Structure 1
Amino acid sequence: MPIELLCHGLIVSCQAPIDSPLHNSVVIAAMAQAAVNNGAKGVRIDTPAHIHAVRESVKVPIIGLWKQIISGYHVYITPQFHHAVAVAEAGADIIAIDATLRERPGGETIADIIPQIHEKLGKPVMADIDTIEAAIAATSVGADMVGTTLFGYTSATNHLSPPAWELLTQMVKNLRVPVICEGGIASPAMARQAINLGAYAVVVGTAITGIDYLVKAYTKEL
């Protein structure tokens, strides 16, 4: 199982804003390969085109997703099953979906989508959640791993800032599937703290690959 290969490891999220020159399949694949060359056990990649390019560059597990902005809905990480199909066909080993309790487009629910991903695509699912309630709901319908990805980014949690240490602790205590710490990890020491709290693996994105965001932060300060 690809999930087993991630145990106590670093997963690097190799993504870039859509208006950035880094939002390019060749660049994303190079980021992913650099991450793997230096010890990353997995990568997290957005869009089928980028997943396909990365699949040709690395052999480690790819957590794939497809961000889609759909009018009238806040759910945007692989919001519908047909998006999951495209992610799987591009070469992802694990499909990441928004598994918050918010309404999804097309009338689908995670109770519809997760079993379909298992049965029709043969892929495990990473449920991106924001609260312990969403985490429990996701595992009750078959999520294979659960991440703190959306903590701080939903109406229920936007008054809070990641890392989600308390949520992580609750999830480790209450869930029987691997818990992934994602969001706000800004240093190796923080990644180690997540593992010490019981995280199965740690996803780091901006602190490693977020050139656009980091340069803006530095220039604003200066």
Structure 2
Amino acid sequence: MTEESILQKIRGGLIVSCQALENEPLYGADIMARMAIAAESGGAVGIRANGANDIRQIKSVTTLPVIGILKRKCHGSDVYITPTLEDVEEVLRAGADIVAVDATQRPRPGGQLGSEFVALVKQRFPEVVVVADVSTYHEGVLAAQAGADVVASTLSGYTEYTFPLQEPDFPLIGALSESLSIPVVAEGRIRTPRQAAQCLRLGAWAVVVGSAITRPQEITQSFVESLHRCLQEQTAEGEQRV
């Protein structure tokens, strides 16, 4: 697929992030492939996947474009989403149609900042669609100037200089969509269909949802916590009546 066809295929749609870490109950490429099949049958337009094994398995069972990443902790750096050129190459060899990289302005293992790394990736792999995962408006602008094909709000609230957030970063999504000439993908803490639709209204090209769809332990926890709050409220009300 060409860059234009890939971007048109995902426009206005839902990209499902099918990921599980080693300490999670659904970890395994075969399980993530089944998640991807379920997402495709539900109408998803793309998949975001972590690691070469998962990417290969998912590509073998779906026709959807795959955004590939490689999460890896590196000594001396907080950057962990596809942190090196070798990681980019591994993701692409596995068959990813798009590669996403951390484009925050934090030093990488090689010393580059996010925008510098985006430029290196585009220089090494000029035909590849590159998604720049950012946490601030400034980072999004710098990534676009460096040659990113797409900017995503993925890391807003997850860097030490952005505030922890409970909701999607709607202001960031809107500001980037309004000012950039390249597609902006909304990602991060999108938990409901209403929130996903709001991202499109703000100008997002597509929306990525992960935990709210593919992490049953977190979905279960949200229900359990809600029930616990309800019981606590009922107990408090009962004590007030006594």
- TM more than 0.5: yes
Contact 2:212–2:218 (CA under 8 A) maintained in structure 1: no
Q: Does 1:160 align with 2:165?
A: yes
Find the partner of 1:10 among 10, 14, 20: 14
More divergent stretch after superposition (206-215 vs 3-12): 206-215
The alpha-carbon distance between structure 1 residues 184 and 111, as it changes in their structure 2 partners (threshold 3 A), is closer
Partner of 1:27: 31
Amino acid at match of 2:73: I
Partner of 2:195: 190
- 1:120 deviates by 3.6
Q: Does 1:68 align with 2:72?
A: yes
Partner of 1:57: 61
Find the partner of 2:50 among 46, 49, 70: 46
CA offsets 1:61-90 (integer angstroms, 9 cap, x no match): 100000011122111100111000000000
Distance, in Å, in 2 between the alignment partners of 1:54 and 1:116 is 27
Question: Alignment identity in percent?
Answer: 37
- 1:111 deviates by 4.7
> Once superposed, what is the RMSD of the aligned Cα atoms?
1.5
Q: Does 1:102 align with 2:111?
A: no
CA offsets 1:159-196 (integer angstroms, 9 cap, x no match): 43440100111101111100001011111111111111
Distance, in Å, in 2 between the alignment partners of 1:139 and 1:102 is 17
Distance, in Å, in 1 between the alignment partners of 2:146 and 2:87 is 19
Distance, in Å, in 1 between the alignment partners of 2:16 and 2:73 is 23
Contact 1:97–1:126 (CA under 8 A) maintained in structure 2: yes
Structure 2 residue matching 1:11: 3-state secondary structure: strand
Contact 1:151–1:161 (CA under 8 A) maintained in structure 2: no
- The count of corresponding residues between Structure 1 and Structure 2 is 222
Distance, in Å, in 2 between the alignment partners of 1:152 and 1:110 is 17
The alpha-carbon distance between structure 1 residues 119 and 102, as it changes in their structure 2 partners (threshold 3 A), is closer
Structure 1 residue matching 2:80: 3-state secondary structure: coil
CA offsets 1:39-78 (integer angstroms, 9 cap, x no match): 1000000011100110101111100000011122111100
Contact 1:80–1:108 (CA under 8 A) maintained in structure 2: no
Structure 1 residue matching 2:61: 3-state secondary structure: coil
Contact 2:115–2:142 (CA under 8 A) maintained in structure 1: no
Amino acid at match of 2:147: G
Partner of 1:132: 137
Please say which structure displays the higher CA radius of gyration. Answer: 2
Distance, in Å, in 2 between the alignment partners of 1:116 and 1:85 is 12
Once the two structures are superposed, the pairs formed by residues 103-122 of structure 1 within 5 Å of their partners are 103-121=107-125, 122=127
Distance, in Å, in 2 between the alignment partners of 1:56 and 1:107 is 36
Q: Does 1:144 align with 2:149?
A: yes
Amino acid at match of 1:40: A
Contact 2:103–2:115 (CA under 8 A) maintained in structure 1: no
- 1:116 deviates by 4.3
Contact 2:103–2:118 (CA under 8 A) maintained in structure 1: no
Distance, in Å, in 2 between the alignment partners of 1:10 and 1:153 is 22
Distance, in Å, in 2 between the alignment partners of 1:67 and 1:97 is 10
Distance, in Å, in 1 between the alignment partners of 2:48 and 2:164 is 26
- 1:23 deviates by 1.0
Contact 2:140–2:151 (CA under 8 A) maintained in structure 1: yes
Gap regions ≥5 residues in structure 1: none
Partner of 1:175: 180
Partner of 2:222: 217
Structure 1 residue matching 2:35: 3-state secondary structure: helix
Gap regions ≥5 residues in structure 2: 229-242
